[in-house]
Amino acid sequence: MNILLVDDSRLARTELRHLLQAFPDVAVVGEARHAAEARTRIQELQPDLLLLDIHMPGETGFELLASLEAAPHVIFTTAYDEYALRAFEVNALDYLLKPIEASRLAAALSKARLKLGSAASADAVPVSTPALAEPAPTPLTEHDQVFVKDGERCWFVRLTDIRLFEINGSYTQIYFDQHRPLIPRTLQHLEQRLDPRVFFRANRQQIINLKWVDNIEPWFSNSLKIQLRGGPEVEVSRQQSIRFRELLSL
Beta bridge partners of 91: none
- What pLDDT score was predicted for residue 31? 97
- CB count in 10 Å sphere of residue 119: 12
Fold entry, domain 152-248: OB fold (Dihydrolipoamide Acetyltransferase, E2P) (2.40.50)
What is the CATH superfamily name and number for domain 2-124? Answer: Response regulator (3.40.50.2300)
* CA distance linking residue 68 with residue 204, whole number of Å: 46
Distance of CA 175 to the CA centre of its chain: 18
Strands in the chain per DSSP E: 2-6, 27-32, 49-52, 73-78, 94-97, 145-150, 153-158, 164-168, 171-175, 182-183, 199-201, 206-209, 213-218, 224-228, 233-236
Please tell me the predicted confidence (pLDDT) of residue 126: 46
Tens digit of pLDDT at every position of the chain (250 positions) = 999 999 999 999 999 999 999 999 999 999 999 999 999 999 999 999 999 999 999 999 999 998 988 889 999 999 988 888 788 778 888 999 999 999 899 989 998 998 887 555 445 444 444 444 444 567 888 888 888 888 888 888 999 999 999 998 888 999 999 999 999 888 888 988 899 999 999 999 999 999 999 999 999 888 999 999 998 999 999 999 999 988 887 7
Q: Would you list the domain boundaries of the chain? A: 2-124, 152-248
Q: Under a CB-based contact definition with an 8 Å cutoff, are residues 171 and 132 in contact? A: no
pLDDT of residue 118: 58
What is the model's pLDDT at position 91? 83
